[in-house]
């Protein structure tokens, strides 16, 4: 079991390596980021960026998207995983944005989570990236990397989020979320982690190192 000082040393190394790295999703407004993050569930950011590049020139506001039928929106995002549920949720979210929030994406996590299809992770991402709200969004990369590095041991994303919040200073929550994601994408991969190339090789407690 790592001491807190060892965990903080790992976090500091991640910060030095990935500082300044932000979301890979491409967006031009809070609404566009919201849509992109909803689409990103069980779908790669690369694919989402291809889809949004195609649809955002025409469907970049709640008003425009809400004007589509369910079948029309499904056709627009058909190359995204779970497109049936995502289209349904996006249309419902657009209508709620128009009815309750004057067409504007709300800035708080509780309000964001009122939107259909928006869970804790999605709300955390949007609130942090767009509005600067301190938050750690635990996706598959964050969950995997934080567990391998023994920064957290929670059984689910919510438990993991709470543990990371206790460890990492609040003012760095949003940035740290991206450090863990980029480390997971580039080095600490799910099947074959690139341990030989890892800046954390000497600090990492992962017993199944690929070296």
CA distance 144 to 137: 13
Under 8 Å between Cβ of 65 and 52: no
**Is residue 139 annotated as a catalytic residue, yes or no?**
yes
Indicate which residue of 121, 166, 189, 209 is catalytic. 121
The C-alpha atoms of residue 32 and residue 65 are separated, in whole angstroms, by 11
Query: Which tokens hold the place of 204?
Result: 């990492």
Task: Based on the residue annotation, tell me whether 170 is a catalytic residue of this protein.
Answer: no
First to last CA, the chain: 22
Are 208 and 147 a contacting pair, CB within 8 Å? no
Of the candidates 15, 5, 7, the one whose C-alpha atom is nearest the C-alpha of residue 176 is: 15
- Annotated catalytic residue within 50, 95, 139, 170: 139
Residues labelled catalytic:
121, 139
């Amino acid at each position: 079991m790592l001491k807190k000082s060892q965990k903080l040393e790992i976090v500091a190394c991640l910060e030095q390596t990935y500082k300044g790295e932000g979301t890979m999703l491409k967006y031009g407004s809070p609404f566009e980021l919201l849509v992109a993050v909803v689409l990103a569930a069980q779908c790669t950011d690369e694919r989402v960026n291809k889809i949004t590049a195609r649809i955002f020139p025409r469907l970049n506001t709640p008003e425009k998207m809400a004007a589509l039928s369910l079948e029309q929106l499904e056709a627009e995002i058909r190359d995204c995983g779970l497109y049936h549920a995502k289209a349904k949720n996006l249309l419902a979210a657009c209508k709620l944005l128009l009815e309750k929030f004057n067409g504007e994406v709300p800035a708080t996590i509780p309000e964001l989570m009122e939107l259909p299809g928006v869970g804790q992770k999605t709300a955390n991402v949007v609130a942090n990236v767009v509005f600067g709200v301190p938050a750690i969004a635990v996706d598959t990369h964050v969950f995997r990397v934080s567990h391998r590095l023994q920064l957290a041991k929670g059984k689910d994303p919510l438990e993991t989020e709470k543990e990371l919040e206790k460890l990492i200073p609040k003012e760095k929550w949003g940035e740290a979320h991206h450090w863990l994601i980029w480390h997971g994408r580039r080095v600490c991969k799910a099947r074959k982690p690139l341990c030989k190339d890892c800046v954390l090789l000497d600090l990492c407690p992962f017993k199944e190192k690929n070296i």
